Structure 1
Amino acid sequence: MVAQPTEDRKSIESKVDVQFVEEQSASALTTEQILQQYPLLKDKPAKERDSINKKLLRKLDFFFLPCVTLMLIMCFLDRINVSNARLAGMQKDLHMTDTQWSAGISMFYVGHLISQLPGNVILARGNPRILLPVCMLCWSAVTISMTALSSPWSFIFCRFLVGFFEGPFTPAVSLMTSSWYTKNESPLRMAIWHAGNIVSNVVSGLLAAAILTKMHNIGSLSAWQWFILIEGIASIIIAVSAFWFLPKWPHNTGTYYLTAEESAMAQFRMQVSNGGISEDDEGGRWAGIVMAAKDPFTWLFTVLHFFVIMAQSFKDFFPSIMATFGFGTTETYLLQAPPYIVAFISCCAVSWSSGRVLEYFWHMAAAMLVGLAGTVVMISTLQQAARYFSLFLLCSGPFIALNLQLSWETAVVPRPRTKRAALVAIANSLSNVTHWFTPYFFLTNQEPRYETGGGSIIAACGASVIVLIIIRWYIAKKNKQLIKRQEETGETNTWRYVT
């Protein structure tokens, strides 16, 4: 729910949206009452507070945001590197059948499912400055070890370990973003770091063109081994650097990162955004899980996330889809990049629009329908130009929708942090169940159309729109209840859930 600003729009108070989540009877604190809790800010004029806010945002945008974006690029590169390695002979060298290869892809997400909820809840009360780089170092070490694989079962086991260590990472970055940025700011910032998911596909294609076609049998290593090794080493370098660029949480990040005034501003912004209650004030780790499990929003967003992720099932097989277009090897690698570049630009533009007007439903529904249209074209024709154009639509739609969902679910349930962490982890981990079965929809015997895979994406896009309608209806119902309670009690309450 978003409070309508009543003060000067140039002041920091009008730039921070107020969100009321829990069904509490007590009236929330006003912005002025919250401000009195921060001695370093309360006596400063609005113009000076606004200046502190801008400095804080610049610091976050120039340090935190680029750092997590680079980390996520490497995270997603480690996730998809085997797709291009497959084209370079990895599956053949390891003597793997299609079923064994798909099992390895699926086991990655089994690791995800196991680690996401406990990992994210532990991090919500822990130190992300340490925990996130450590997770990255662990999955990078496993990735590098994959250059020594010699059997299908070792491949399956390593993919499980990479998934296990990567599991808490994306939900944790979503949690951190929602703890440092307001709801107006969050969609665009999430689009930027979530672009790691998109940019990784661009980088992977370019690296594949440079490495997989040029480095075969150099130093007695296959091209795919060099491909995985170089990405793993780069990931370790970024992980080590992250120790110096990540903050903790607004209430406990030290002077190594923020001034005392910036720290107070970070806490003030988020307390206003959370309806007057600090996200650190309520419940422990287990209490947050219980609260999330009881909240219908958790399960609505979990179902939505399930279908959005299912609509992205093509990405693990994108190089294989491109290979059916009849281009040369180098062209196949390079032509993977443009659809994802357009997807990145579209994601940033749509997310900026969503954050500016604080609207999610129509933005997400339109994105999923675009993805549906692209899939229909991809499987209904073999005409090269039309199929390539369809990939632009297919890449853009689900990626845009996923980014907006991450922002939306943290906007309607912003506190306490452990509850938000549990919600994000539950939705993300259960949605990854789709990866247990969708790899079997993209078998080589269905080339070039991949009718089963395309049909599942069409069904997922349509189902996601239906779930979006249900979520919008539920939010409207909750807002009507708030209006009714206001009329019955006489409380002044202009807050509403964001639709």
Structure 2
Amino acid sequence: MNVETDLPPPTVLLDADRQSYVGRPASKKGKWQKFVSFIWDSDYYEKSDAERKLVFKLDCFMLTAMTIGWWLKNLDQNNLANAYVSGMKEDLNIQANQYTYMGTIYNAVVAAMQIPSSFIVMKVRPSLFLAICEIGWGVFTFAQAGAKSYQAMYGFRFCIALFESFYYPIGYFILGSWYTRPELAKRIGLWFMAGPAGSAFSGFLQAAIYRNLNGVLGRAGWSWLYIICGAMTVPCGFLLLFLVPDFPENTKVWYLNDEEKALAKERVARNGAQPMKGKINGAVILSALRDWKFWILVPFYCIYGFAVQNGTQFGVYLKAFKYSVTLRNVLPSVMYLIQIPAILIYCYISDRTTRIQRGWIMLGPLIWGIFPTGVLAFWGHSNSLRVVAFMVNGTLYITPVFYAWVAEMCGHKTELRAFITGCTSCLFYTFNAWLPAIVFLQTDGPRFKKGFRTTFSCCVASVVFVIVIILMRRRELRQENNKMVDETSVQQGRIDADREGDIEEKL
């Protein structure tokens, strides 16, 4: 089982031990391996050559394909905001809070699908399921280009949400099933970074389209955005079909040989995770409701998830303050680009510090986040300061570290990990389905007094929640450690008793 506490570290396998465990030649160790261990996976120096090759293949094929899919999801998802401030509002006569309701519909559908999604892929091949979903939302991305009213956009947002909803929890679930403790957070971070990259690209793309294609063939620039993005999304579905390897226990992917598939299963066992059996144990799900993790992790992610919502109003703010159409798209894109290195740094530190809980890494960004959320909550007098507060909003994102932590805490039971992952996303999207419609009414913009003060309060509450989780996890691990010591003592006592009995018989 993974341990990331102040408890004594587990014994490190020597090369001879590793060779006997996996039945493969020990690794070649040189300056390159030491260098990669320093800048990348901390255990790269200890891995066998076969294991390094396996991880390299997973990075090149699985991680790359899923990252492209995630990039496109965020590109398509963010198109609504960019299209809205680039002429769609006027062309479709969107008034009052109709734009907010489009987001409400999207979040409501996504919320409903979060918990079922992780269990669906325990029965259906993830590669096939994700491919169908990717193609589905690509088709409806195309369809938005032909919208003639806000009512049509309501319907299209519903359909896109239905197909996009599965990608988020399934992506975390699959990555957590293949990578080990020193590998996981960085890979989730790289995958997650494609999100802000896609959102940023959407802004730059809309700015370029508005300059060059607005009015071409009688179509507005925002309409061309949906056409181009749809043409990019549909082919990715076939990429996922051939490159996502499903799970180590049932993979049939072409780029892994039988030996590598067996090694992948051994890595799962070594990581303390339960093998994927394709069966859903209802008792485990019911037991989750009695576990502290459900009652603390799920509300935490919901509160934290809303604490980082200020960035969604950046474009509206810029439009209200008479920034040009180009800047309305470019400045929010820069905000997303700032988010990328911040995420990578958090994940790198998280994977390197194996002796401490990941929660300590999460605390720093959340404490820092009190500043930018506070600037908007109390509406600093300087426009430049408010713009900076929007721009650094992405530095609060610690989602990849959080989900890596969840995978460790729940990895010993597959259903528990699926349930907790689904519930965290479900509650987050549930709140996003109705809370923005109350606190981020477009009629309250650009001040959004209720909304910005809500995100500030959520940021402060997130700090408290993380501290509570750290303490609860430390208590749980100490109890598990004491239980292991007690069981070892009992087992040793039985062995000693058997030996004494054998001696007495011989005498």
Please identify, of 457-466 and 435-444, the stretch whose mean Cα deviation from structure 2 is larger.
435-444
Distance across 1 between alignment mates of 2:232 and 2:160: 16
* Pick aligned residue for 1:245 from 229, 243, 262: 243
Q: 2:372 matched to which residue of 1?
A: 374
How far residue 283 of structure 1 moved from its aligned partner, in angstroms, is 5.0
* Pick aligned residue for 1:413 from 407, 410, 414: 410
Q: Are residues 492 and 449 of structure 1, via their aligned partners in 2, closer, same or farther at CA, if it must alter by over 3 Å?
A: farther
Q: 2:264 matched to which residue of 1?
A: 266
Decide whether the 8 Å contact of 1:12 with 1:50 is kept in 2: no
Decide whether the 8 Å contact of 1:125 with 1:418 is kept in 2: no
User: Number of paired residues?
Assistant: 464
Whether 1:304 and 2:300 are equivalent positions in the alignment is yes
Q: 2:349 matched to which residue of 1?
A: 353
Decide whether the 8 Å contact of 2:206 with 2:221 is kept in 1: no
Give 2:301's aligned amino acid. Answer: H
* Pick aligned residue for 2:286 from 287, 290, 302: 290
Give 1:296's aligned amino acid. Answer: W
Alignment of 1:208-227 (within 5 A): 208-227=206-225
Unaligned runs of 5+ in 2: 29-46, 492-507
Please identify, of 461-470 and 250-259, the stretch whose mean Cα deviation from structure 2 is larger.
250-259
Please identify, of 322-331 and 232-241, the stretch whose mean Cα deviation from structure 2 is larger.
322-331
* Pick aligned residue for 2:59 from 61, 69, 91: 61
Decide whether the 8 Å contact of 1:300 with 1:467 is kept in 2: yes
* Pick aligned residue for 2:191 from 179, 190, 193: 193
Please identify, of 135-144 and 280-289, the stretch whose mean Cα deviation from structure 2 is larger.
280-289
How far residue 250 of structure 1 moved from its aligned partner, in angstroms, is 0.9
Give 2:27's aligned amino acid. Answer: K
Unaligned runs of 5+ in 1: 14-30, 36-40, 494-499
Whether 1:319 and 2:315 are equivalent positions in the alignment is yes
Q: Are residues 419 and 257 of structure 1, via their aligned partners in 2, closer, same or farther at CA, if it must alter by over 3 Å?
A: farther
Specify the structure having the higher radius of gyration (Cα).
2
Distance across 2 between alignment mates of 1:292 and 1:406: 17
Over residues 60-111 of structure 1, what are the superposed CA-to-partner deviations in whole Å (9 max), with x where a residue is unaligned?
A: 1111111111100111122221001110222332222232221111110111
Q: 2:40 matched to which residue of 1?
A: none
Whether 1:337 and 2:317 are equivalent positions in the alignment is no
Q: Are residues 81 and 10 of structure 1, via their aligned partners in 2, closer, same or farther at CA, if it must alter by over 3 Å?
A: farther
How far residue 131 of structure 1 moved from its aligned partner, in angstroms, is 0.7
- 3-state SS of 2:181 partner: coil
- 3-state SS of 2:127 partner: helix
- 3-state SS of 2:177 partner: helix
How far residue 252 of structure 1 moved from its aligned partner, in angstroms, is 2.1
Decide whether the 8 Å contact of 1:372 with 1:462 is kept in 2: yes
Alignment of 1:27-38 (within 5 A): 35=21
Distance across 2 between alignment mates of 1:230 and 1:160: 20
Distance across 2 between alignment mates of 1:420 and 1:137: 27
Alpha-carbon RMSD across the aligned residues, in angstroms, is 2.4
Distance across 2 between alignment mates of 1:255 and 1:85: 39
Decide whether the 8 Å contact of 1:174 with 1:190 is kept in 2: yes
Over residues 31-61 of structure 1, what are the superposed CA-to-partner deviations in whole Å (9 max), with x where a residue is unaligned?
A: 96xx4xxxxx42x333277101100111011
Q: 2:11 matched to which residue of 1?
A: 6
Alignment of 1:156-235 (within 5 A): 156-235=154-233
Whether 1:45 and 2:25 are equivalent positions in the alignment is yes
Over residues 158-215 of structure 1, what are the superposed CA-to-partner deviations in whole Å (9 max), with x where a residue is unaligned?
A: 2122112111211001000000101211101001111122112211111111113332
Give 2:385's aligned amino acid. Answer: A
* Pick aligned residue for 1:423 from 405, 420, 423: 420
Please identify, of 368-377 and 82-91, the stretch whose mean Cα deviation from structure 2 is larger.
368-377
Q: 1:433 matched to which residue of 2?
A: 430
Please identify, of 402-411 and 94-103, the stretch whose mean Cα deviation from structure 2 is larger.
94-103
Distance across 2 between alignment mates of 1:424 and 1:465: 20
Distance across 2 between alignment mates of 1:462 and 1:333: 30
How far residue 231 of structure 1 moved from its aligned partner, in angstroms, is 0.9
How far residue 332 of structure 1 moved from its aligned partner, in angstroms, is 2.8
Decide whether the 8 Å contact of 1:367 with 1:396 is kept in 2: yes
Give 1:434's aligned amino acid. Answer: F
Please identify, of 217-226 and 148-157, the stretch whose mean Cα deviation from structure 2 is larger.
148-157
Distance across 2 between alignment mates of 1:209 and 1:202: 11
Distance across 2 between alignment mates of 1:314 and 1:288: 37
Q: Are residues 352 and 487 of structure 1, via their aligned partners in 2, closer, same or farther at CA, if it must alter by over 3 Å?
A: same
Distance across 1 between alignment mates of 2:484 and 2:285: 30
Q: 1:396 matched to which residue of 2?
A: 395
Distance across 2 between alignment mates of 1:247 and 1:135: 16
- 3-state SS of 1:335 partner: helix
Distance across 2 between alignment mates of 1:477 and 1:5: 18
Q: Are residues 97 and 443 of structure 1, via their aligned partners in 2, closer, same or farther at CA, if it must alter by over 3 Å?
A: same
Q: 2:81 matched to which residue of 1?
A: 83
- 3-state SS of 2:242 partner: coil
Decide whether the 8 Å contact of 1:115 with 1:165 is kept in 2: no
Please identify, of 412-421 and 198-207, the stretch whose mean Cα deviation from structure 2 is larger.
412-421
Q: 1:18 matched to which residue of 2?
A: none
How does the TM-score come out when normalised to structure 2? 0.85
Decide whether the 8 Å contact of 2:186 with 2:348 is kept in 1: yes
- Displaced runs of 4 or more, over 6 A: none
- 3-state SS of 2:226 partner: helix
Distance across 1 between alignment mates of 2:17 and 2:183: 13
How far residue 492 of structure 1 moved from its aligned partner, in angstroms, is 9.8
Over residues 279-317 of structure 1, what are the superposed CA-to-partner deviations in whole Å (9 max), with x where a residue is unaligned?
A: 225952645543444432123211111012111223433
- 3-state SS of 1:98 partner: coil
Please identify, of 374-383 and 129-138, the stretch whose mean Cα deviation from structure 2 is larger.
374-383
Distance across 2 between alignment mates of 1:335 and 1:108: 24
Q: 1:115 matched to which residue of 2?
A: 113
How far residue 5 of structure 1 moved from its aligned partner, in angstroms, is 4.0
Please identify, of 432-441 and 406-415, the stretch whose mean Cα deviation from structure 2 is larger.
432-441
Q: Are residues 449 and 55 of structure 1, via their aligned partners in 2, closer, same or farther at CA, if it must alter by over 3 Å?
A: same
- Identical aligned residues as a percent: 22
Q: Are residues 463 and 229 of structure 1, via their aligned partners in 2, closer, same or farther at CA, if it must alter by over 3 Å?
A: same
Give 2:411's aligned amino acid. Answer: P
Decide whether the 8 Å contact of 1:438 with 1:453 is kept in 2: yes
Distance across 2 between alignment mates of 1:11 and 1:282: 34
Q: Are residues 407 and 321 of structure 1, via their aligned partners in 2, closer, same or farther at CA, if it must alter by over 3 Å?
A: farther
Decide whether the 8 Å contact of 2:117 with 2:169 is kept in 1: no
How far residue 132 of structure 1 moved from its aligned partner, in angstroms, is 0.6
Distance across 1 between alignment mates of 2:151 and 2:248: 44
- 3-state SS of 1:148 partner: coil
- 3-state SS of 1:239 partner: helix
